[in-house]
Structure 1
Amino acid sequence: MYLFESFFNDVFNIKSVIMALITIGLIAIMMVMTYLVAQRTARLSRTRTFILEMIEALVVVGGVFLLRQTFLVLNGGSVMSWAYAIAQLMILLYSMYAMQTLAVTLVNLAMPLVFYGQALRLGANTRYWWVFMLTMAVLFGVIAYISRHQDLVLTSEWRFLVLQFLYGGAWCLIIWSARPYHLFYATNVLVVFIAYMWIIRFFVTRVNHVINHFARLDQAANYDELTGVRNRANFDTTTVGVFGVYRQHPTMPITMAMFDIDHFKHFNDDYGHLAGDAVLKHVAQLFNQELTKQTNHGELFRYGGEEFVIIFENISPVDAQNKVTTIRNVLQKSPITINGDTMTVTVSIGISALQQSDADFDSWFKRVDHYLYLSKEAGRNRITVEGQTQKL
């Protein structure tokens, strides 16, 4: 009875209420961040996506640090409290379910090592080091499984229950290996931890549902269903913003490259419309992938039919020519096979920068379209940059 009262007083008191409120606030912040990041990563380059994911990881680390500092203040310089342990576990595990990034997974893997290192520095006994090593192996396995199967775990109640038990139990044994305590506490900690996480699971699944819903809406509204690249509607919206940027920074080059697939009608007529669709997907996805490798300042759009447009911000026509030509060369080395026939796909390209003399978007667009026409008139598989046509 004494042990139960001691645990109850440790977990359910005014200090714990304060910690609970802070924990809820941190979880709310992570919910909002998860939603905002999910809305933006589809539009960002790999580098910027990586930066956002690192920021998420720093938020998790900052949350754990804030919990620790708060407990140090509330408990006269000590963090020896099960309420603190439960709050920290909730933050760590919630972040892995909600954010679903490698950086956050690595934070979860690193935290037990940080804890044990701090415990040793403060004079903990290393007698049960083998318990720590065995338990770390279990914890690493649990974290690795959750990081790969978040959605499956959240939708399967028995998996969720088992993994919460293993995660919480592993942490209890890690703490015990450095600071031995009565195992009665571990049972109570697991019960409270699993109960809290069950509530959090409800909110995580709802947040994921909202994120997925808006992602589907965004995909339908802004991306071409066949090729997966941005569509005409997104192109029209983007060009409005481009003109706004140009008016504020008239010395910054903004370049448009337009290209279409040579003899596309031949694919449709000779092999059927499904073959034509396959060619469109092949070209669009290759250009999109290679463009991401080439620069963070270019966006690809399917304007219509077999015609595509790339908007380059802060890139001159010469630099745009180099990047597009490099991508075109990759296309040349990546033939497509249709009905057993292997064929090389070529494109014709027109490139021009936005100029101060352009009164509106149409004047710029018509000039680029004219340059594309010159490339096709010259025999296709050509590139025309500011009126100068060259063979590719």
Structure 2
Amino acid sequence: MPDIILGSIINNYLNINSAIITLVTIGLITIITIVAYSLERIIGKSSPSYQKFFKHLIEGLVLTFSMIMLQQIFHILNTGSINHGWLYANAQLTILLYCMYLIRNKITLLINILMPFAYYTSINLDRLENKNLPFFAVSYIFLVIIVIYIYQQTEKLQRSEWKYLIMQLFFGLSWWILLWVDHSFPMLEIINMLIVFLIYMAIIRFCAKKLEDTMINYDDLKVKVNYDELTGIRNRASLDKTAQELFETYSNEEIPLTVTMFDIDHFKEFNDTYGHSTGDEVLKHVAQTIEREMFLGDAKGELFRFGGEEFIIVFRGKKPAQCIPIIANLREALTNTPLVLNGEKLEITISFGVSKLDKTDLNFDDLFNRVDRYLYESKNLGRNRLTVEGLTYNFNKLTK
């Protein structure tokens, strides 16, 4: 019997059509994976319900498109006949199961549950007269149970190779019994089909894992390139990229753009007195406190570490006068949450320079140089101050 199975596999799968179907399947899996990961970046768990539904709908449409595409390619390869139909069926089952693991939403679940009635609609009534209808009913119920279990336990299954393999086996067995009821092929072929299905899943999982690793590495590289390693906020390189877009967008618009630059007063003394590790803690504390307060206060500012102890905040759609109370609140939040290291409370103050993009600015550097000049006016006049378009305010008086 092993020789018969091996011979059947060689005759049916080691040919040009099987190679094409396999490559097409891998290509469709790649498209599905890219779409799923892209949507995940855009629409997260905290997004509104309508956006989540839209995301799930797109994923369901991509899965449906993949099923139709496989069907059309199979018919083209076989000039309309159903020879080697199990090859096409295994490819579809592979995509269906893979999407259950990758996407895991209710639309994908519904497609998996309804697919036994949708893949060949003209045969639905014929099943009622088939003497093997009880096998179909039992296998379908078993398939539904397996699909729901996979939907609910995806993360646990992916952590266990044995459970993952057993679920693949049960999923494939259920489907091939359903197909056997419809097409009456020899029962021995079910073993053949299951072996090939497991091989397909192994190939697809390997390719998907490599693709997933590539995307994760890309995300890691993107974070390293655009985010400051010490503070976790966006860095100078990210600001440089954003600056060009900001100038092109706001230089020809009536919508205001305000930029503020601040640095930590007497930062060198922290390093000289307590050491550079304390200086690093001060930088992290300032960056994380400002970023947290902007998020909680809905200030809609974009925070960047410019370099050393200097930071930039970009306020889109706000005039400098509108930014004064926001900046005062940020500074007050920093004052009210002192940094305590080794039992000692460190008093941290910051100075600001603020200006808006002017129509006379030829580029972003013109705006930046003006903001930088205002920052140094704040520092030269005693620090812990805010200079807005050349007018300096004492924070202690501003907040009283």
**With structure 2 as the length reference, what TM-score do the two structures score?**
0.68
Judging changes above 3 Å, is the alpha-carbon distance between structure 1 residues 242 and 113 closer, same or farther for their aligned structure 2 residues? closer
Q: Percent identity?
A: 35
Residue 116 (structure 1) aligned with residue 113 (structure 2): yes
- How far off its partner does 1:364 sit? 1.4
Provide the rounded CA distance (Å) in 2 between the counterparts of 1:337 and 1:9. 74
Residue 242 (structure 1) aligned with residue 242 (structure 2): no
Q: Contact between 2:374 and 2:390, CA under 8 Å: does it hold in 1?
A: yes
Provide the rounded CA distance (Å) in 1 between the counterparts of 2:239 and 2:355. 17
- How far off its partner does 1:168 sit? 1.8
Q: Contact between 2:233 and 2:305, CA under 8 Å: does it hold in 1?
A: yes
Residue 192 (structure 1) aligned with residue 196 (structure 2): yes
Give the aligned residue type for 1:65: T
Equivalent residue in structure 2 for 1:139, among 150, 155, 171: 150
Provide the rounded CA distance (Å) in 1 between the counterparts of 2:359 and 2:157. 54
Query: 1:223 matched to which residue of 2?
Result: 227
Judging changes above 3 Å, is the alpha-carbon distance between structure 1 residues 233 and 139 closer, same or farther for their aligned structure 2 residues? closer
Q: Contact between 1:142 and 1:166, CA under 8 Å: does it hold in 2?
A: no
Query: 2:90 matched to which residue of 1?
Result: 86
Judging changes above 3 Å, is the alpha-carbon distance between structure 1 residues 378 and 133 closer, same or farther for their aligned structure 2 residues? farther
RMSD value, Cα: 4.8
- How far off its partner does 1:298 sit? 4.1
Give the aligned residue type for 2:64: F
Provide the rounded CA distance (Å) in 2 between the counterparts of 1:384 and 1:45. 39
Judging changes above 3 Å, is the alpha-carbon distance between structure 1 residues 231 and 360 closer, same or farther for their aligned structure 2 residues? same
Query: 2:208 matched to which residue of 1?
Result: 204
- How far off its partner does 1:253 sit? 1.9
Judging changes above 3 Å, is the alpha-carbon distance between structure 1 residues 16 and 368 closer, same or farther for their aligned structure 2 residues? same
Give the aligned residue type for 2:154: I
Provide the rounded CA distance (Å) in 2 between the counterparts of 1:165 and 1:17. 24
Provide the rounded CA distance (Å) in 2 between the counterparts of 1:274 and 1:63. 51
Query: 2:65 matched to which residue of 1?
Result: 66
Give the aligned residue type for 1:309: I
* 1:4-44 per-position Cα deviation (integer Å, ceiling 9, x unaligned): 79999998999988765653432343465578x49x95xx8
Provide the rounded CA distance (Å) in 1 between the counterparts of 2:117 and 2:36. 35
Q: Contact between 2:60 and 2:108, CA under 8 Å: does it hold in 1?
A: no
Between Structure 1 and Structure 2, how many residues are aligned?
367
- How far off its partner does 1:95 sit? 5.5
Give the aligned residue type for 1:207: L
Provide the rounded CA distance (Å) in 2 between the counterparts of 1:311 and 1:255. 6
Query: 1:106 matched to which residue of 2?
Result: 104
Q: Contact between 1:350 and 1:369, CA under 8 Å: does it hold in 2?
A: yes
- How far off its partner does 1:256 sit? 0.8
* 1:182-239 per-position Cα deviation (integer Å, ceiling 9, x unaligned): 9866644442232123223443344344445544544444332322322223323432
Give the aligned residue type for 2:339: I
Q: Contact between 2:257 and 2:316, CA under 8 Å: does it hold in 1?
A: yes
Residue 299 (structure 1) aligned with residue 302 (structure 2): yes
Query: 2:280 matched to which residue of 1?
Result: 277
Residue 354 (structure 1) aligned with residue 357 (structure 2): yes
> Superposition pairs for residues 173-192 of structure 1, below 5 Å?
175=175, 181=181, 187-192=191-196
* 1:20-77 per-position Cα deviation (integer Å, ceiling 9, x unaligned): 5653432343465578x49x95xx897999999988755542232124445777789x
Match of 1:239, SS state, is helix
Q: Contact between 2:294 and 2:300, CA under 8 Å: does it hold in 1?
A: no
- How far off its partner does 1:274 sit? 0.6
Q: Contact between 1:259 and 1:347, CA under 8 Å: does it hold in 2?
A: yes
**With structure 1 as the length reference, what TM-score do the two structures score?**
0.69
Q: Contact between 1:328 and 1:347, CA under 8 Å: does it hold in 2?
A: yes
Structure of larger gyration radius: 2
Provide the rounded CA distance (Å) in 2 between the counterparts of 1:33 and 1:17. 24
Give the aligned residue type for 1:229: I
Provide the rounded CA distance (Å) in 1 between the counterparts of 2:14 and 2:299. 51
Match of 1:106, SS state, is coil
Give the aligned residue type for 1:354: L
Judging changes above 3 Å, is the alpha-carbon distance between structure 1 residues 205 and 353 closer, same or farther for their aligned structure 2 residues? same
- How far off its partner does 1:259 sit? 1.6
Provide the rounded CA distance (Å) in 1 between the counterparts of 2:52 and 2:29. 16
Provide the rounded CA distance (Å) in 2 between the counterparts of 1:349 and 1:45. 35
Residue 169 (structure 1) aligned with residue 169 (structure 2): yes
Give the aligned residue type for 1:63: V
* 1:156-190 per-position Cα deviation (integer Å, ceiling 9, x unaligned): xxx54x35423323434665898885986664444
Give the aligned residue type for 1:265: K
- How far off its partner does 1:339 sit? 0.9
Judging changes above 3 Å, is the alpha-carbon distance between structure 1 residues 15 and 328 closer, same or farther for their aligned structure 2 residues? farther
- How far off its partner does 1:370 sit? 3.1
Q: Contact between 2:36 and 2:103, CA under 8 Å: does it hold in 1?
A: no
Q: Tell me, which stretches of 5 or more residues in structure 2 are unaligned?
A: 119-123, 128-135
* 1:102-153 per-position Cα deviation (integer Å, ceiling 9, x unaligned): xx5433x653444335668968986678745753564245412267x5xxxx
Provide the rounded CA distance (Å) in 2 between the counterparts of 1:252 and 1:48. 29
Q: Tell me, which stretches of 5 or more residues in structure 1 are unaligned?
A: 98-103, 150-158
Judging changes above 3 Å, is the alpha-carbon distance between structure 1 residues 139 and 209 closer, same or farther for their aligned structure 2 residues? closer
